[in-house]
Amino acid sequence: MKKFVNDPAKFVPEMLEGIFLANEGKLKYEPKYNLIYRADRPSKNHVSVIQGSGSGHEPAHVMTVGPGMLDAASPGNVFAAPPMEYCLECIKLMNSPKGVLVLINNYQGDRMNWDMAIEMAEAEGIKVKSFIIDDDVAVQNSSYTVGRRGVAGNFFVMKACGAAAEKGKSLEDLLELAKKVNANVRSMGIALTSCTPPAKGKPIFEIGDDEMEVGVGIHGEPGRRRDKMKSADAIVDEIYDAVAKDLPFKSGDRVALMINGLGGTPPSELYVLYRKAALRWHPDRNPEDSEAAGKFKQVLDAYEVLSDSNRRARYDQDRPAQAESETQEEPAKEESTQFGADPGNGFHFTQDFNRKIEPEPKCPSCAVVGTERIISRKAGASSARGKQFILAPFNIIFCSACGHVYGVTASTT
């Protein structure tokens, strides 16, 4: 084993001391309990957000302590849950009148020790709640968990709750936010090699030079299967499909993508992987798919018109016509109000006020029921970004109240 290490038994304490020394004035360090915490926390005006798991997953969790993130972290040894005493001291140290939120990745050791610490803290009168993160789609159960494992999706929960706590949100608000974020986050991992914890001195599992573990856990737990090595693009395709099919989203929704290296993948390789993922969800950037690029360009240009304040003002002026038509028992004859002869990109936009979608959806952005349909009619060739595009008609379904776009469909008009 070749590692930058002194005494393997002191690896974690020396790492924590290094983090503290690099951030003096911003962070504090309690060596007795392996605690890294913000110098300005706890605060009587803010919920304290804390987390702790085994070391070896950096930057989680000790390197995410700071404004808008965690207020404190309590790490155990490499791949080992923090002892219950460490968890309890972390809760007590971060005790705030507004409460303490403990984020826990779904692993049996973490849950057991934090659960005991929370019970003891509550017995001492501390207001504390916990939330379990389980974002991994690779397997339902494993040797370390009942249910899905908590992996990289943890960062989204951590960031959202940390930012909300910074704004003074209540403990109950943070719990609801954690539930919402966790319900909309999915992840999956691939291992090309095993890892070597300093105290163990040898790889935690064996894998061939031409093999990869598909769906590996963050402690080296088995995934879905052992497979032969594939290209970076093929690996992204498999992970992308597994995650995308499990997400509760629809075409047109905005999402965030994180490529996580599990602590051992060089940034250069991560960007190779990101490139493929970006081409999957940004078809206009894929030179190999000219048809998809043209369609995506149409969506961008149409949305630009919807976002233009002057053109949107014309649309808003015509909204009473829609309200009047909806009160009629029989559908009125369709009429169109045109945004203009040519908005500057080769399009002619028309607004169909009397065409409704059944059943009327509830906008996920503003909760208003009812949408309207914009139809973009073909107007020949258009030039943009130095390229020529043949513009086919299509529909944009969007919320009339806030402009949220539900999706894009083909138009036959």
Residues annotated catalytic, as ranges = 57, 219
What whole-number distance in Å separates Cα of residue 386 and Cα of residue 217? 46
Structure tokens at 175: 């719990």
- What number of residues does the chain have? 413
| Residue 379 near residue 347 (C-beta atoms within 8 A) | yes
Q: Judging by DSSP bridges, how do beta strands 394-399 and 371-377 pair with one another? A: antiparallel
User: Can you say how many angstroms the Cα of residue 60 is from the centroid of all Cα atoms in its chain?
Assistant: 15
CA–CA separation, 302 vs 294, rounded Å?
Answer: 12
Computed on alpha carbons and rounded to an integer, the radius of gyration of the chain in Å comes to 26
Distance, CA of 357 to CA of 10 (rounded, Å)? 64
DSSP states along 212-232 = EEET--TTS---SEEEE---H
The number of angstroms, rounded, from the C-alpha of 208 to the middle of its chain's C-alpha atoms is 32
Distance from C-alpha of 338 to C-alpha of 215, rounded to nearest angstrom? 52
Q: 3-class SS at 369?
A: strand
* Residue 151 neighbours by CB under 8 Å, 6+ apart: 105, 135, 136, 187, 189, 217, 218, 260
**Contact by Cβ (8 Å): 148, 134:** yes
Task: Evaluate whether 168 touches 119 at the Cβ level (below 8 Å).
Answer: no
